[in-house]
Each structure stands twice: as structure tokens, then as C-alpha cells.
């Protein structure tokens, strides 16, 4: 293990490199993190927490900057093509990227194998949302469904590695995400919104509107991700072999 002060110096030095060596600097930083006096679980937990936090802030800022945005009537993906597109698309892509890097650190931890696979697929979907905006209807629908579906499955599958009451909470939040996704998908089909750019209302949205039901998919998943990240961060320190 490297001394913490040396790691801090290494990160500061890599940050000061020229723009031409930025990619190499980033790779160096990731490699340094892997050798820091933290277990791989803690590093993954920190990445997951930052991912959830920055996206929650990003979507809040995007909604505030989007003129007359309605949480009930507008899809979340409307933020990706409106005046706040840069903020939303960057934030959701970063969400996926941080999740992807986090799964890299957990790849050799056998007890997290199942949930790690689900998180990897969620990460791919999230990054896809940032690339394929609402203008790419078919591709956007596919990657959004991928992200939402595996976010819910990640929460449900994590109960095996969590202790009560967090394991029970994770199941509840996962079921909420999957249930809301089922209602949202059914509402889109029933209302005709699936083949239209207009978000029509449906009784399956339970009075929340299409946007409100879509938020009910997203927020439980983010709550679970924050809780799961805290579990990883607070785990007992494990000395790993290089």
C-alpha cells in the first residue's frame, strides 16, 4: 500500500499535466486509486455515491433551467433536448461512467458478482441516454429501459449482500422502481405515447402524469444507490494483494 500523502502528491502532480497528456493522467489517477489505502469496495462506494449525488443535482438544475418544465407532464428525457440539454446529457453520461468505473473495482469481489453485473448494465444504459437523446426515439427508448430495468434489479439483487434493515429497504426500493417502470411502459402503450413525441396521460400513471411516474422509477433507484454506496464505504477495511 502506498502512503496517503504520496497518493495525494501523485494526484496533484497528474492534475497539473498538460492537456495533451490528460488521458494518460486520468489513467494514472485510476491506477493510483487502486493502490491507495482503501479497499476496492470503498473506492467503488465513493464512486457510486458521487454518481448518484451529481446526477440528482444535475437533474434538479436542468429542470430549473428548462422553461415551464412540468414534473408531471414532461418526460425526464425532454431535458436532454431542451435548453438544459448540455447539463442533463453530461450528468447522465457521467452517472453511467462513474458506475462503470465503480464496477471495475468490484469485479473480483465474488459476493458482489450479481449486483455488479446489474450495475454494469445500468451504467451502459445511463451512458447511452446521454448519447442517444429523445430525438433518437428507438435507441433512446432501448437504453432508457436498460438503465431503469437493471437499476431496479440491482436494488433487488443487493439484498443478499446487505444486512437488515438495509436489505429489506433495498428490496422495497427495487420493487418500486420496477413497478413504476411497468406502469410507465403500460401507460405509454395504452395512451399511444410510444409512437409519439407527445406525452399523453393515462390512468396507469395514477394521477402522477407521465413525468411523475417516470420520476417514481428514477428516485427510488437513486436512493438505493446512495444507500448501497454507504454500505461499501463503511465496510471493514480489507487488505488486498497487488
Residues 200-224: tens digit of each pLDDT: 999 999 999 999 999 999 999 999 9
With CA atoms as reference, report the closest residue to 64 among 75, 79, 50, 45: 79
Cis peptide before 165 (omega within 30 of 0): yes
Same domain for 125 and 91, yes or no, is yes
**In the predicted structure, residue 14 carries a pLDDT above the cut 80:** no
Q: Is residue 68 situated within a structural domain?
A: yes
DSSP strand E in 38-138: where?
A: none
Query: What pLDDT sits at residue 220?
Result: 97
Query: Could you tell me how many residues make up the chain?
Result: 242
Q: Which helix (H) or strand (E) holds 188?
A: helix 166-191
Q: What's the rounded Cα separation, in Å, for the pair 194 and 192? A: 5
Judged against a pLDDT cut of 70, whether residue 32 lies above it is answered with no
Whole-number pLDDT of residue 237: 55
Give the pLDDT mean for 24-30. 49
> Among all chains, which residue has been given the C-alpha cell 395504452?
190
Q: Is 183 within a domain? A: yes
Same structural domain, 136 and 96 = yes
Residue 129 within any structural domain of the chain: yes
Do 31 and 46 lie in a common domain? no
Hey, is 139 helix, strand or coil? Answer: helix
Asked if 178 and 70 sit in the same domain, the reply is yes
Cell 443478499: give the residue.
160
d(CA 148, CA 77) in angstroms, rounded, equals 13
88 and 206 co-located in one domain: yes
Both 62 and 3 in a single domain? no
| Residue 145 sits in the same domain as residue 178 | yes
Residue 113: CB atoms within 10 A of its CB come to 13
pLDDT tens string 154-182: 999 999 899 889 999 999 999 999 999 99
Count of structural domains, the chain: 2
Residues 111, 217: one domain? yes
Do 20 and 45 share a domain, yes or no? no
Question: What residues make up the domain containing 1?
Answer: 1-37
65 with 107, same domain: the answer is yes
pTM summary value: 0.80
Q: 20 and 109: one domain? A: no
Whole-number percent of the chain with pLDDT over 90 = 72
Amino acid at each position: 500500500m502506498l502512503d496517503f500523502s504520496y497518493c495525494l502528491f501523485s494526484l496533484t502532480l497528474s492534475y497539473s499535466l498538460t492537456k495533451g497528456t490528460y488521458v494518460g493522467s486520468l489513467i494514472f489517477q485510476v491506477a493510483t486509486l487502486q493502490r491507495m489505502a482503501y479497499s476496492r469496495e470503498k473506492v467503488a462506494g465513493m464512486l457510486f455515491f458521487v454518481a448518484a449525488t451529481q446526477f440528482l443535482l444535475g437533474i434538479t438544475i436542468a429542470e430549473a433551467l428548462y422553461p415551464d418544465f412540468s414534473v408531471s407532464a414532461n418526460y425526464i428525457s425532454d431535458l436532454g433536448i431542451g435548453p438544459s440539454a448540455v447539463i442533463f446529457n453530461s450528468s447522465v453520461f457521467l452517472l453511467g461512467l462513474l458506475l462503470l468505473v465503480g464496477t471495475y473495482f468490484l469485479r473480483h469481489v465474488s459476493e458482489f458478482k450479481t449486483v455488479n453485473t446489474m450495475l454494469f448494465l445500468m451504467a451502459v444504459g445511463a451512458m447511452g441516454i446521454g448519447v442517444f437523446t429523445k430525438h433518437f426515439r428507438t435507441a433512446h427508448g432501448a437504453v432508457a429501459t436498460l438503465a431503469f430495468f437493471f437499476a431496479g434489479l440491482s436494488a433487488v439483487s443487493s439484498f443478499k449482500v446487505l444486512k437488515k434493515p438495509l436489505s429489506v429497504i433495498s428490496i422495497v426500493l427495487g420493487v418500486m422502481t420496477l413497478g413504476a417502470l411497468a406502469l410507465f411502459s403500460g401507460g405509454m402503450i395504452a395512451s399511444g405515447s410510444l409512437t409519439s413525441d407527445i406525452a399523453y396521460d393515462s390512468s396507469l400513471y395514477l394521477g402522477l402524469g407521465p413525468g411523475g411516474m417516470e420520476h417514481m422509477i428514477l428516485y427510488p433507484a437513486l436512493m438505493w444507490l446512495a444507500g448501497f454506496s454507504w454500505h461499501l464505504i463503511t465496510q471493514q477495511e480489507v487488505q488486498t494483494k497487488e
